[in-house]
């Protein structure tokens, strides 16, 4: 009995393989059509993604969509009006108030920053500050958006009594000294057109010279220490 069942199974399998090799066959006349498998319902995430894509497409068609920026951000090329030293000082200030160490300054961290600078803001005022430079609509400040505050201040694009202008003015960075390509007043100066390439190279050379000077001073201190140690041992 078992051998007969095995033979039937083998025969059915052979027939199925032959049918697959010969291609699909038409159903015999009069036979009811095979039911199609039910369509899978779209998931919530797929619906949300499709909705976002359609929304952005509508914005593009209406000219209201903001261009998507490259993930790689280079402050020295995107803000050539700032010196390397100023950008580093602004980066240090940004990291100082980025308490979460996530690369962003959120609403509460901005609140703390403005209180430390002596210009506390209301909740709506803080949201308005972020909104003015929030390019990706995430409700917090990236380092690029933080630099954008000082760029707008230098270009005269901020209201004199705005929270962002207060932030720029009350920062402890000496912008007149570090500042915007030799501009005497950072907040009134317009961006001046100078050769960014030559300026960049000059700043690199200055950094290298300063590093060499520090290494030479360290070497001299070590030599003096060794000499003093030798005199002490004799």
Q: Write down the residue that tokens 């190279």 correspond to.
A: 201
Higher-pLDDT residue of 73 and 187 is 73
pLDDT band at 29 (very low <50, low <70, confident <90, very high): low
Secondary structure element (H or E) that encloses residue 178, with its range: helix 175-178
pLDDT given for residue 112 in this prediction:
95
Q: What is the pLDDT of residues 32-54, one digit of tens each?
A: 555 555 555 545 555 666 666 66
> Domain 75-175 belongs to what architecture?
Orthogonal Bundle (1.10)
Q: What is the pLDDT of residues 140-154, one digit of tens each?
A: 999 999 999 999 998
Compute the C-alpha angle 129/53/134, nearest 5°.
Answer: 10
Q: Write down the residue that tokens 């630099």 correspond to.
A: 147
Which of 151, 148, 158 lies closest to 105 in space, CA to CA?
148
Question: Residue 53's Cα: distance from chain center in Å?
Answer: 21
Q: Is 73's pLDDT higher than 80?
A: yes
Cα–Cα distance for residue pair 171/14, rounded to 1 Å: 82
User: Where along the chain do its domains lie?
Assistant: 75-175, 180-228
Cα–Cα distance for residue pair 181/22, rounded to 1 Å: 78
Q: Which two tokens stand for residue 74?
A: 């280079």
52 burial (CB, 10 Å; 0-12 / 13-18 / 19+) is exposed
């Amino acid at each position: 009995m078992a051998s007969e069942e095995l033979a039937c199974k083998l025969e059915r399998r052979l027939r199925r393989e032959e049918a697959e090799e010969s291609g699909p066959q038409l159903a015999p006349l009069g036979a009811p059509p095979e039911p199609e498998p039910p369509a899978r319902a779209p998931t919530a995430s797929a619906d949300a993604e499709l909705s976002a894509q359609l929304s952005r497409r509508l914005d593009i068609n209406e000219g209201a969509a903001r261009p998507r920026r490259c993930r790689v951000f280079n402050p020295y090329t995107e803000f050539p009006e700032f010196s390397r030293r100023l950008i580093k000082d602004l980066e240090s200030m940004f990291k100082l108030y980025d308490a979460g160490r996530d690369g962003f300054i959120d609403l509460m961290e901005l609140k703390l920053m403005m209180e430390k600078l002596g210009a506390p803001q209301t909740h709506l005022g803080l949201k308005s500050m972020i909104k003015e430079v929030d390019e990706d609509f995430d409700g917090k400040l990236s380092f690029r958006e933080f630099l954008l505050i000082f760029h707008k201040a230098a270009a005269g694009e901020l209201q004199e009594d705005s929270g962002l202008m207060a932030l720029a003015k009350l920062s402890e960075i000496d912008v007149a000294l570090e500042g915007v390509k030799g501009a005497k007043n950072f907040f009134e100066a317009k961006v001046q057109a100078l050769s960014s390439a030559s300026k960049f190279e000059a700043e690199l050379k200055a950094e290298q010279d300063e590093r060499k000077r520090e290494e030479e001073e360290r070497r001299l201190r070590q030599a003096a220490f060794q000499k003093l140690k030798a005199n002490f041992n004799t």
